[in-house]
Structure 1
Amino acid sequence: MNDQAIARRREVDDLLSGTFNSILRVEERALENRLTEGLTITEIHTIEAVGYRDENPMNVVAARLDVTLATLTIAVNRLVEKGFVARVRDEADRRRVLVSLTKRGRQVYRAHHLFHQRLIEEALADLSEEEEAVLCDALRKVKGFFDRQAHAG
């Protein structure tokens, strides 16, 4: 590998980790408001995974977040206590627990969704359609790699 390729790979490493950290900081700052007061980013992402309107089984939400049912149960317990999530037993199958957002949870969901929409619009504003397509293709490949790594035994 030549010096230029080594430098480019260092830059990719810096760009990936720097972008990840910047997104988290921007997201934390943007979501510091009265709707999300007292919520962590993880809890906000759990609200997002519960979904806006539907009652979803806990195992479906856990799969969306790629966490265990036990991990999700802890998070849902906190969100129920804080008034953002409601939990009920499925009438058709009492073994299944269904979760849904309360009014407060739906408000947080909408605020988070709007934040992401604005973030993407602003981030892509200076790209041409062709550059946007190339970026999407490259990110799809990079995400595929990280997904495979996350699920490797």
Structure 2
Amino acid sequence: MDKEPDVAHEVLRSIRQIVRRISEHSKFLSSEAGLTVPQLMCLKAIGEIDEAERDAEITVAMVGKAVQLSAATVSRIVDRLVTAGLVSRERRAADRRKVCLSLTAAGLERYQTLPTPLQDTFVERFAALSPTERGTLLSSLRRISALMDATQLDAAPMLMPGEDIKQSDRD
């Protein structure tokens, strides 16, 4: 029983290390790319969709699906990318209600030099684990989330520090 507080402290230390790594990487992305994590992920998604489906009519909904965020949230993020001159919005002549997104020349240049987001590295390494180990990690993290009363919190699969996705992109 004497070891139990030590184990709990080691779990808390590991959680803190994860939180700090996310914060450090977010700051790195911001300084390297000049973008928030959500902006980087949306810019990356637009570029990847365009590469995969040349001449695709990229919509906010498509980007939202790619980054697993609501269309309303992505729309606010895209507003910032448009203001920064990285993305353009264009209404289609055939259907004026449909707004399509594309990278500007500056956006394409930025897309081609984007640093790798932490979640991409994590997903790649996680996929290399055995199915049993992945399942064990998921079960353990879900249990930790429950122990911290965090299971009811809405969270996108986007690693970023402190604030929620909607708040962070207002900065």
Q: Same fold (TM over 0.5)?
A: yes
The TM-score normalised by the length of structure 2 is: 0.56
Per the alignment, in what secondary structure is the counterpart of residue 133 of structure 1? coil
In the alignment, which residue of structure 2 is the partner of 1:100?
Answer: 102
Bigger helix share: 1
Aligned AA for 2:10? E
Which residue of structure 2 aligns with residue 127 of structure 1? Answer: none
Partner of residue 20, structure 2: 21
Across the two proteins, how many residue pairs are aligned to each other? 136
Answer whether contact 2:29 2:37 (CA < 8 A) is retained.
Answer: no
Q: 1:88 to 1:4 in 2, by over 3 A?
A: farther
User: What is the alpha-carbon distance in structure 2 between the residues aligned to residue 100 and residue 115 of structure 1?
Assistant: 21
- Structure scoring higher RCO (CA < 8 A, sep ≥ 6) equals 2
Structure 2 unmatched ranges of 5 or more = 51-55, 146-150, 156-171
Q: Runs of at least 4 residues of structure 1 off by over 6 A?
A: none
Match of 2:129 in 1: 133
1:51-82 deviation digits (Å, cap 9, x = unpaired): 33254211121233343333222221221121
Give percent identity, aligned residues only: 24
Q: What SS does structure 1 have at the residue aligned with 2:116?
A: helix
* Letter aligned with residue 32 of structure 1: S
Ranges in structure 1 where 5+ consecutive residues have no aligned partner:
125-131
Task: State TM-score, norm by structure 1.
Answer: 0.61
Structure 1's 17 and 104: CA in aligned 2 closer, same or farther, altered over 3 A?
farther
Shift of 1:142: 5.7
Determine whether 1:115 maps to 2:119. no
How large is the RMSD of aligned CA atoms in angstroms? Answer: 3.8
In 2, the alpha carbon distance for the partners of 1:31 and 1:40 equals 6
Match of 1:41 among 16, 20, 37: 37
User: How far apart, CA to CA, are the structure 1 residues paired with 2:26 and 2:74?
Assistant: 22
